[in-house]
């Protein structure tokens, strides 16, 4: 059984609660706000500027990333087995520093060079594969529905430096050559494509 307050006590508590509510409604803060609208307006303006500054800071990137524009790429001299740099607009085979091959063809072929370091020196560069255009490729047969890697491989022959046979980049052998340099090494690092400066 619960204890029940007498009616007069409940009436007194109710009356005091109402008086407390009236007091809180009429606190000095409300009067001060009504008497000082300029200060309140100033606080609102400053808050709006702070909010605007935070939004702008969040929308603008922290810093711009400078992307270097390389004007050269690596080529491999089939006569000497050395890399040399040439204009990036060239496809190959091109004239190599050592001269033509014994059959008279140019000895410079495009080389895809990789490294595990950010700015590699000569000993840290790895020649992933060599590349030449496929002379038997018909450009009218380009398949635009292929994925990015397969689309890139259309009309290209590749091989490793130590191989003698050129294979289509889209063949099973060509895909095996490409996959070798896009897999992490034993330290978990993935080789990065590097270009000459």
- Residue 183: predicted pLDDT: 77
Q: Kindly indicate the confidence band of residue 117, based on its pLDDT and cuts at 50, 70 and 90.
A: confident
> What number is the average pLDDT over the span 1-12?
74
10 burial type by CB count under 10 A (0-12 exposed, 13-18 middle, 19+ buried): exposed
Phi/psi of residue 105, each to 5°? -75, 155
Would you give the distance in Å from CA 84 to the centre of its chain? 29
Q: Residue 98 and residue 81: Cα distance in Å, rounded? A: 10
Comparing 117 with 66, the larger pLDDT belongs to: 117
Which pLDDT tens digit goes with each residue over 161-184? 898 899 888 888 888 888 877 777
- 94-107 confidence digits (pLDDT tens): 899 999 888 898 88
- The region that residue 155 occupies, defined by phi over 0 for left and psi between -120 and 50 for alpha, beta otherwise, is left
Tell me the C-alpha distance between 2 and 5, whole Å.
Answer: 10
Spatial separation of the C-alpha atoms in residues 128 and 76, rounded to whole Å: 11
Of residues 184 and 41, the one with the higher pLDDT is: 41
User: What are φ and ψ of residue 73, in 5° steps?
Assistant: -145, 165
* Range of 79-83, 124-128, 183-187 with top mean pLDDT: 79-83
């Amino acid at each position: 059984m619960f204890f029940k307050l007498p009616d007069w006590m409940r009436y007194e508590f109710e009356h005091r609660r109402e008086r407390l509510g009236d007091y809180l409604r009429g606190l000095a803060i409300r009067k001060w706000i009504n008497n000082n609208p300029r200060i309140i307006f100033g606080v609102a303006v400053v808050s709006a500027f702070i909010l605007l500054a935070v939004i702008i800071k969040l929308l603008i990137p922290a810093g711009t990333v400078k992307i270097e524009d390389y004007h050269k790429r690596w080529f491999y001299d089939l006569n000497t087995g050395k890399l040399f740099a040439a204009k990036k607009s060239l496809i190959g085979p091109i004239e190599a520093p050592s001269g033509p091959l014994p059959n008279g063809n140019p000895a410079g072929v495009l080389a895809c060079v990789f490294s595990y370091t950010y700015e590699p020196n000569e000993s840290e560069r790895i020649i992933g594969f060599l590349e030449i255009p496929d002379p038997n490729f018909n450009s009218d047969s380009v398949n635009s529905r292929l994925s990015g890697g397969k689309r890139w491989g259309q009309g290209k022959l590749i091989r490793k430096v130590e191989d003698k046979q050129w294979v289509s980049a889209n063949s099973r052998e060509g895909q095996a050559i490409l996959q070798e340099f896009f897999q992490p090494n034993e330290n978990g690092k993935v080789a990065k494509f590097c270009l000459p400066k």
